[in-house]
Amino acid sequence: MRKIYLSIGSNKGNRYSFIKEALRLIRKDIGKVILMSKIYETKSWGFHSDDFLNICIMIKSELFPAELLNKLKNIEDRIGRIRNSTKILAREIDIDILFYSDKIVDHEDLIIPHPRLHLRNFVLYPLNDIASEFIHPILLKPINELLEECEDDDSPKESSLSLL
């Protein structure tokens, strides 16, 4: 079983329900959810849209990275995400693989650790909730240090919503 860290976000429609459904499908199709961050609300990053709800989770799964990616894309599709290769759009659900244990994967369609996670507070805040001491296998720094160093000036707001 591998420890896998995922980021889950939604900024379209009933954001909270879409995240809950993603968690249900991850539990059903991928593995056991071990840790879950608080929910954070953040501005959209890289495009103008409604605010996101974001969480990070740690799961345990036996899936290999490519299988994991395919199952996550399938979950996004089932929830209603429509992909557009030419521009970033609001989306019902967005699930990113942040870490796959301490493994480094560099393929055309999958890069782990996520190449921009250290630049984005909307990922670092919830990730710090569940993995503050986890060492980034390329940057060789713990998440709490990456959060302190992050130059992203958009600080997420903790949501009053709870998934527990």
pTM over the 0.85 mark: yes
Residue 55: both structure tokens together: 């969480």
Taking all residues of the chain, what is their mean pLDDT, rounded to a whole number? 92
The pLDDT tens digits for 101-117 are 999 999 999 999 999 99
Q: How far apart are CA 76 and CA 148, in angstroms?
A: 31
Q: How far apart are CA 61 and CA 28, in angstroms?
A: 11
Phi, psi of 145 (to 5 degrees): -75, -40
The pLDDT tens digits for 20-56 are 999 999 999 999 999 999 999 988 766 667 889 999 9
Phi, psi of 50 (to 5 degrees): -60, 160
- In order of start, what are the domains of the chain with their CATH numbers? 2-158 (3.30.70.560)
On the question of pLDDT at 138 being above 70, the answer is yes
The pLDDT of 136-149, averaged and rounded, is: 97
